[in-house]
Amino acid sequence: MEHPRRLFALIGPPSVYLTLFFLLPLGIMAVFSFRAGTIGEARNVFTLEHYRQFIANAAYHRLLWRSSLMAFGIASISTLLAYPLAYFLTFQAGERKLTLMTLIIIPTWTSYLLRVFAWKLILGTNGLLNTLLLSLGIIDQASPILLYSRTAVMVTLVYVWVPFVALPIFAALERIDRSLLEAAADLGCKPWEAFLRVTLPLSAPGVIAGFFFCLIPTLGEYVTPLLVGGGQGAMYGNLIQDQFVRALNWSMGSVMSLAMLLAVIVLLVIFSRMGSFSKLLEL
């Protein structure tokens, strides 16, 4: 600690920011989770009742589990789609790399809500997809299941996330020294063997980062399920939102939020165990 003042100047602003916008709200939420009620006298009574209710209610657990599975599926599919995209950009696009990259990023500048609404137009009963399938004679009746389903939520979220998952993968692929691939070929690898033995392991940190960047926010997602999910596509985030906005049961909402936070922390521990987090920082 040679320059305590400079050190303070460096970590000061972020710590103020984190305290104000992260630790403080979290603390308030933790306090609320123990309050008997949201308004009136009940505010000042502290109880473990909401925790007991949460633990007793299997429906909550099921939804949390189902949402986790959905988030896991969305992150997996996004990664599977993003990898070839990033691979193409890195190794095949050549001089068009920058142009294509911009084309991929531009939609993300428009409002998130707008993009989700766009999918509503595509998936709706009178939407683009149904109309197309009808006119091609593939189906003879407009299918309502395209919208307001878990599938709709997943399709929309995958669409939203693919560019963001592709970015860290792209960065990891870009960093691979091309002479390593030549060395692999020189040592007898066919192109796909070189991919499996060299490209894939060396891009793993980007893949894992992209996967978790998608997985964690998706777990708490509530806007997309609200717009395109309907009853069946609802996620855990919608349940929390209901507690705060409709039931005005902030205490229950807080308990549920904390439960999700715990789930995220478990995921993060797995993340760092996979060793990629430290590697990302190091590279």
Q: Is 4 in the site for another protein (CB under 8 A)?
A: no
Least distance (Å) between residue 208 CB and another protein: 14
Residue 99 as a binder of another protein (CB under 8 A): the answer is: no
33 or 203: whose CB is closer to another protein? 203
How many of the other CB atoms lie within 10 Å of CB of 36? 15
97 binds another protein (CB under 8 A): no
Residues 6+ positions from 209 with CB-CB distance below 8 Å: 168, 172, 276, 277, 280
Q: Which residues, other chains included, contact 167 with Cβ-Cβ below 8 Å and sequence gap of 6+?
A: 86, 210
Spatial neighbors of 281 by CB under 8 A, at least 6 apart, are none
Q: Scan residues 150-179 and list those touching another protein (CB under 8 A).
A: 177, 179
- Shortest approach of another protein to residue 198 CB, angstroms? 6
Min dist. Cβ of residue 179 to another protein (A): 4
Query: Residue 143 carries which DSSP code?
Result: -
Scan residues 199-258 and list those touching another protein (CB under 8 A). 201-202
Q: Hey, what are 61's tokens?
A: 């657990």
Its sign, for the CA torsion 53, 258, 222, 81, is negative
Compare residues 48 and 187 and give the one whose CB is closer to another protein.
187
Nearest alpha carbon to residue 170 among 213, 110, 216? 213
Query: Based on CB atoms, which residue is closest to another protein, 11 or 187?
Result: 187
Q: What is the smallest separation between the CB atom of 193 and another protein, expressed in angstroms?
A: 6
Q: What are phi and psi of 96, to 5 degrees?
A: -85, 0
> Per DSSP, what are the bridge partners of residue 35?
46
**Count of residues of this chain found to bind another protein when the rule CB under 8 A is applied:** 17
Nearer to another protein, 42 or 187 (CB): 187
Q: Which of residues 5 and 273 has its CB atom nearest to another protein in the complex?
A: 273
What are the helix (H) ranges across the chain?
4-18, 24-32, 49-56, 58-87, 97-105, 112-123, 128-135, 150-174, 178-186, 191-194, 200-219, 223-224, 236-245, 250-273, 276-282
Site string (179-208) toward another protein, x via CB under 8 A: xx-xxxxxxxxx--x---xx--xx------
* Smallest gap from residue 91 Cβ to another protein (A): 15
Q: What is the nearest approach in angstroms of another protein to the Cβ of residue 184?
A: 8
How many angstroms separate the CA atoms of 62 and 94, rounded?
48
User: 55 vs 183, which CB is nearer to another protein?
Assistant: 183
Of 139 and 177, CB closest to another protein: 177
Query: Binding residues for another protein, per CB under 8 A?
Result: 177, 179-180, 182-190, 193, 197-198, 201-202
